[in-house]
Amino acid sequence: MDNNIKVFAVVVTYNGRPWIDKCLKSLEKSSTPVNIIVIDNGSQDGTQEIIKGHPQVEFIQAAENLGFGKANNRGIAIALGKKADYVFLLNQDAWIETNTITALSEIAGRNPGYGVVSPIHLNGACTGLDLNFSRQLAPDTCPSFYSDLYVRNPRPLYEITFVGAAAWLISASCLGKVGLFEPMFFLYGEDNNFLQRVKYHGFKIGVTPLCAICHDRESRRGNLNEQGAKIWERTSSLIMLLNILDSYSRSILLFLRERLLLMLKYTYQRRFLALKCPIGEIIFLVTHFNAIRRVRNYHKSAYVPGAQNLSA
């Protein structure tokens, strides 16, 4: 590996006390030195004190809860301003193996056509695959992955249509083309939209079986998971509509299918959320068209220095 490569890790925290010490320690033990930036979204459980116990970490206290995407944008902008070659996004409730960033950087360096490369996502006990991640490896979205593993002949890199943002290594060249996370998404949906834009600009998304993270999703409180599901439900069709603005003709069919399935689901349950959601989203798109067009144009330009403008 090129010793001159600069990797910056960006971690966004919000009430992450149960995990953040283990997360940061794993980054500090990386076989490839990594610059660590942590943006806290106003934790109220003492997370900040734990972060300050890691003096080598560049700590930023946000004045308000920026949400996942906008907080990551602040860290990414700082990393790019310091001439990062790669930015590694890591969830606060995840930790890496010693070789994770080394393997990711080497794979990305040998495959510059891949804008985002992710490791294997294990569960919090590191005893098996994270459930959501295992679904993302299905044959229609990541061909031959499971088959190759079963016959013990894995390749170093697999193209995939989507992988969650719990652990992404993003190249600076990709960020220079794609831009940052869409600030319209407070939580959930920003990763889906970002990867759609990655593909729009001709980059690939990959997963490598050569390294892993552990993602302690299971220990989150039940009401937090339920809240996340509701947020995702409200943003799913908004993602589709925004992707249509990025000239994804296939997104029109995906959007129609998504709404039809939800309408059937909630009609059966005698609820009308499926009708209310798209109407509200369409009104939002119409009333915010100029702002949306500005952001769309920004993301289609190769302008990195203005990244700070989207992180505010």
Q: How far is CA 241 from CA 59, 69, 147, 198, 251, in A?
A: 36, 18, 35, 17, 7
Confidence of residue 297 (pLDDT cuts 50, 70, 90): low
Strand, helix or coil for residue 263:
helix
Q: Tens of pLDDT along 187-243?
A: 777 888 889 889 888 999 999 999 999 999 877 654 445 554 454 455 555 555 555
The bridge status of strand 58-61 relative to strand 35-40 is: parallel
Please state the length of the chain: 312
Residue 125 has pLDDT above 70, yes or no: yes
Q: Report the number of secondary-structure helices (H) and strands (E) in the chain.
A: 13, 9
H/E stretch holding 215 reads strand 204-215
Confidence of residue 302 (pLDDT cuts 50, 70, 90): very low
Range with top average pLDDT, 157-166, 197-206, 297-306: 157-166
pLDDT at 150: 94
In this structure, how many other beta carbons lie within 10 angstroms of the beta carbon of residue 125? 10
Residue 93 and residue 18: Cα distance in Å, rounded?
A: 8
Residue 5 has pLDDT above 70, yes or no: yes
Q: If you average pLDDT over residues 291-307, what whole number do you get?
A: 52
Name the one residue in this structure whose structure tokens are 């039940």.
222
**For residue 206, which phi and psi values (nearest 5 degrees)?**
-135, 160
Helical axes 289-299 vs 222-245, angle rounded to 10°: 80
**For residue 14, which phi and psi values (nearest 5 degrees)?**
-155, 105
CB 205 within 8 A of CB 114: yes
Enumerate residues 6+ apart whose C-beta is below 8 A from 153: none
Entry pTM: 0.78
Among the ranges given (168-172, 248-252, 293-297), the one the predictor scored with the smallest mean pLDDT: 248-252
Q: With pLDDT > 90 as the criterion, what percentage of the chain qualifies?
A: 59
Residue 21 has pLDDT above 60, yes or no: yes
CATH architecture of 7-220: Alpha-Beta Complex (3.90)
Residue 257 and residue 252: Cα distance in Å, rounded?
A: 9
Among the ranges given (173-177, 195-199, 244-248), the one the predictor scored with the smallest mean pLDDT: 244-248
Domain boundaries, the chain: 7-220, 223-296
Among the ranges given (112-116, 270-274, 296-300, 308-312), the one the predictor scored with the smallest mean pLDDT: 308-312
Name the one residue in this structure whose structure tokens are 């229609």.
140
Residue 135 and residue 154: Cα distance in Å, rounded?
A: 18
